[in-house]
Amino acid sequence: MYKKTTLKNGLRIITVPAKNTKTAAVLLLVGTGSKYETKEINGLSHFLEHMFFKGTKKRPNTLKLIEPLDQIGGHYNAFTSQEYTGYWAKIDASHLDLALDWVSDIYINSLFDGKEIDRERGTILQELNMIFDIPMNYVGYLWLKLLYEDQPSGWHIVGNENTIKRMQKNDFINYLKNHYSSKNTIIAVAGNINQKETIDKIKKYFQKINCDQVENKLAVKEKQVKPQASIYYKKTDQTHLILGVRAYNIFHPDRYALSILGDILGGYMSSRLFISVRERQGLAYYIKAEADMDTDVGCLVVSSGVDNQKVDKAIKTILEEFKKITKQKVGPKELKKAKDHIKGSALISMESSDEQASFYALQELLTDKILTLEQKFAKIDAVTVNDIQRVAKDIFRPEKLNLALIGPFKDKNRFDKLLKI
């Protein structure tokens, strides 16, 4: 059973002991990401994450910083999203002190050396180019830009060439002060640990954490009255697309029904879209559907790479599946399969200490409330066939429909005509 501890400075600690493993995972989550940026510093959250690996007062360069974890076979990395940033290390549980010392060191004592900033600037520009060169990745950015346009939710997490080139040391220092604090930070430790000892260690390592209040993100504005499409011309051998609808955020009462709906449509190899698009017609190699929910917005999306010559047919087939699930109720057997798939996948992932840390920490950070697996399963089990149809009818409507597409096409009108439910 997990334990949540909140210190006087607001720092939240989540400990999840598990004696059936010899590993431990340390995850530090900060409640900030690209949605918390202004246009002038778009990409700074991600750039800052990179700079945390460039040296601290105690470990003054990258080699000295990462070598101690390499020497014990540890796994470590970081990630940036629109709403949070994370730093983690997974190690042999006997090296927990090293992992906690390492995570606290990069969080509190990073140097932000000017030469390292300039060096990493080039690395991030190459990362941006890589994303643009891979249509399967770039179409995700086009999707966000289509839905949210010129506001933080519609900007690229990595930023753009101009902002990346412009950022200087003071930008990092100011952002760190205004967005990294005990007030919006969670430290989760899962695995073969002693809870009391772990909490005491975290108190020691993080005693110098910034405790200032943090800035909040701007509210997202959503406006759409008809189907819309974004077509990006690129000579490709395959068309990559995201076709979906605006839906619910993570606080919506129908969030579990939305997740199950996405699973039924394209969550596994025997799902409706996998069978209809790939197996029966051979239109695509990959196709999947999923519900994507943040604290303020959400959508249900279908992602696929399809034959350039058959893209129209693929889009029509996906839309037919959308329409079908609004007209005909899902059968009890198919509903049970989706529920069991979600629950089974969750159970398998929770056998890993790092997944356990993420499971509890993300809930706490995003919703201020933690549900156990059993509680989540109860909510999943409570969803009925009527709920699925009701949600489908609510979201699969013309005024919520969107298409982002990358391929050798210039005629946007051609695709606008296809967007009918």
Question: Stretch 305-312: mean pLDDT, rounded?
Answer: 97
Decide the pairing of beta strands 298-307 and 284-293: antiparallel
Residue ranges of the chain assigned to CATH 3.30.830.10:
3-205, 228-416
Is the CATH number 3.90.1150.10 carried by domain 3-205?
Answer: no
Residue 28's pLDDT band, with cuts at 50, 70 and 90, is very high
Asked if 262 and 271 touch (Cβ cutoff 8 Å), the reply is no
On the CB side of 105, how many CA atoms lie within 13 Å of its CA?
A: 21
User: Which class is domain 228-416?
Assistant: alpha beta
Q: How many residues does the chain have?
A: 421
Provide the pLDDT for residue 130: 97
Decide the pairing of beta strands 185-191 and 12-17: parallel
State in Å, rounded, how far the first CA of the chain is from the last one: 46
Residue 1's pLDDT band, with cuts at 50, 70 and 90, is confident
Provide the pLDDT for residue 90: 98
* Sequence letter at residue 232: Y
Q: What is the mean pLDDT of the chain?
A: 97
Sheet holding 75-80, edge to edge: 3-6, 12-17, 185-191, 23-30, 85-92, 75-80
pLDDT digits (tens, 9 = 90+) for 172-221: 999 999 999 999 999 999 999 999 999 999 999 999 999 999 999 999 99
Sheet holding 284-293, edge to edge: 228-233, 401-407, 238-246, 298-307, 284-293
Provide the pLDDT for residue 61: 96
pLDDT digits (tens, 9 = 90+) for 99-148: 999 999 999 999 999 999 999 999 999 999 999 999 999 999 999 999 99
Asked if 262 and 412 touch (Cβ cutoff 8 Å), the reply is no
Query: Which positions are catalytic?
Result: 49
Q: What is the pTM of this model?
A: 0.96
Q: Could you give the CA distance from residue 137 to residue 292 in angstroms, rounded to a whole number?
A: 16
Provide the pLDDT for residue 301: 98
pLDDT digits (tens, 9 = 90+) for 345-400: 999 999 999 999 999 999 999 999 999 999 999 999 999 999 999 999 999 999 99
